[in-house]
């Protein structure tokens, strides 16, 4: 079961969601509540490597757009 494509996809989706939640939690603490449009844009990001870079950027960002602009 651990090698099935479906199982791996579910794990990846869970990891994406967890990282997004971290970005939102840290970002809200530092930058205030994000606008719904920003949350919608963040939810479109599915590249795990980019999400990981975004969570690191969140620790230093001075505005939400800096996080979304992470390549």
CA distance 10 to 46: 13
Q: What is the pLDDT of residue 1?
A: 54
Q: Which helix (H) or strand (E) holds 18?
A: helix 5-31
Q: How would you write the pLDDT of the chain (71 residues) with one tens digit per residue?
A: 567 888 888 888 889 999 999 999 999 999 999 999 999 999 999 999 999 999 999 999 999 999 999 99
Q: Are 58 and 27 in contact (CB under 8 A)?
A: yes
């Amino acid at each position: 079961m651990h090698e099935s494509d479906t199982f791996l996809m579910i794990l990846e989706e869970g990891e994406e969601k967890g990282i997004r939640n971290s970005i939102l939690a840290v970002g809200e603490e530092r930058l205030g509540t994000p606008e719904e449009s920003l949350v919608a844009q963040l939810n479109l990001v599915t590249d795990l490597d980019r999400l990981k870079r975004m969570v690191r950027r969140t620790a230093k960002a001075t505005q939400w757009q800096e996080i979304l602009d992470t390549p």
